[in-house]
């Protein structure tokens, strides 16, 4: 059976609003897929639906069969904990299904390897609730990996990390994918980090998939303008494309029939109505008279 995540017509609605709009795609395992798009595009909603946390229509499958919840690791956005547990205990909880009344040598060894990989050894005995936001993010990410999920879904799980820890985490995820053949699906705002991390990049806007492919294919100035309404330069570097935002794209304004000085005192609503009705120039006083009659 081919190891792949298949979405077939997945839609999510909140009340009468369609947030994810009939999305179909297949993502082969053994790679990192980044999901980007503007605020409110539906990234978290889509990930929640794939993780089985949100009601949706359409189907989410793994190969020919249903996606088994036990093979999914999900780290939602703003994931944090106030639990009265040490960092080591928090990691061990990640594989609680294997644990009995005693923690086995295997799990302890796995947890200490994970602490080492994430550079968390010095924090192993600290209460997890007392850690900084970034430190907690590292611990909770390590906890998700303890279970060795086939599908790891991360929602902005590197947003609290400094650049060194971001690179450390990307390296850990790369090695994890190479070792286990898993699929990592991560929502991320930092397009340059996404370009560096991901084999495939998906760009979502208003619940629809607007672009997908390698970072070099997807991260073009045209796509950034169309999806984010931002003017940007995209530089080709040895590490892939690098997006340099220039500024917000100016919204298109309908042409005004009025000279500059009349527009300054005019009523915007009135001008637009009139612009639709008349193409020729008409003095503002005449328009106001027409309005009041």
Ligand X SMILES: Nc1ncnc2c1ncn2[C@@H]1O[C@H](COP(=O)(O)OP(=O)(O)OP(=O)(O)O)[C@@H](O)[C@H]1O
Binding interface with ligand X (CB under 6 A):
14, 19, 37, 39-45, 77
- Pick 36 or 123: Cβ nearer ligand X: 36
- Pick 15 or 247: Cβ nearer ligand X: 15
Angle at CA of residue 169, ends 79 and 27, nearest 5°: 80
CA distances to 37, 100, 109, 141, 195 from 152, in Å: 19, 24, 22, 10, 18
Please state the closest distance from residue 153 (CB atom) to ligand X, in A.
12
Please state the closest distance from residue 4 (CB atom) to ligand X, in A.
23
Rounded to an integer, what distance in angstroms lies between the CA atom of residue 165 and that of residue 117? 11
- Pick 182 or 227: Cβ nearer ligand X: 227
154 Cα distance to chain centroid: 8
- Pick 49 or 172: Cβ nearer ligand X: 49
- Pick 187 or 219: Cβ nearer ligand X: 187
Please state the closest distance from residue 143 (CB atom) to ligand X, in A.
22
Residue 111: CB atoms within 10 A of its CB come to: 25
Q: What are phi and psi of 11, to 5 degrees?
A: -130, 145
Rounded to an integer, what distance in angstroms lies between the CA atom of residue 2 and that of residue 195? 26
- Pick 14 or 101: Cβ nearer ligand X: 14
Please state the closest distance from residue 187 (CB atom) to ligand X, in A.
6
Please state the closest distance from residue 219 (CB atom) to ligand X, in A.
17
Please state the closest distance from residue 51 (CB atom) to ligand X, in A.
13
CA distances to 74, 215, 224 from 204, in Å: 20, 14, 11
The CA radius of gyration of the chain, in Å to the nearest whole number, is 25
């Amino acid at each position: 059976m081919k190891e792949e995540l298949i979405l077939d017509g997945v839609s999510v609605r909140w009340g009468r609003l369609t947030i994810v709009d009939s999305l179909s795609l297949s993502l082969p395992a053994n790679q990192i897929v980044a999901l980007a798009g503007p605020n409110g595009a539906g990234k978290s909603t889509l990930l929640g639906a794939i993780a089985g946390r949100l009601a949706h229509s359409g189907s989410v499958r793994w190969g020919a069969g249903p996606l088994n919840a036990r093979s999914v690791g999900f780290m939602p956005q703003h994931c944090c904990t106030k639990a009265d547990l040490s960092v080591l205990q928090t990691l061990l909880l990640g594989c609680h299904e294997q644990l009995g009344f005693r923690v086995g040598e295997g799990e302890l060894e796995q947890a200490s390897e994970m602490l080492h990989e994430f550079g968390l050894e010095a924090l192993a005995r600290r209460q997890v609730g007392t850690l900084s936001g970034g430190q907690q993010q590292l611990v909770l990410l390590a906890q998700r990996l303890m279970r060795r999920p086939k599908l790891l879904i991360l929602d902005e799980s590197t947003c609290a990390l400094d650049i060194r820890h971001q690179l450390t985490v990307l390296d850990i995820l790369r090695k994890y994918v190479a070792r286990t053949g898993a699929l990592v699906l991560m929502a991320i705002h930092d397009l340059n980090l996404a370009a560096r991390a991901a084999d495939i990049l998906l760009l979502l806007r208003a619940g629809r998939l607007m672009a997908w492919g390698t970072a070099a294919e997807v991260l073009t100035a045209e796509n950034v303008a169309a999806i984010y309404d931002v003017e940007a330069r995209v530089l080709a570097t040895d590490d892939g494309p690098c997006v340099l935002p220039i500024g917000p794209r100016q919204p298109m304004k309908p042409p005004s029939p009025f000279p500059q000085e009349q527009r300054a005192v005019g009523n915007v609503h009135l001008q637009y109505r009139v612009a639709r009705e008349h193409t020729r120039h008409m003095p503002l006083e005449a328009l106001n008279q027409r309005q009041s009659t």
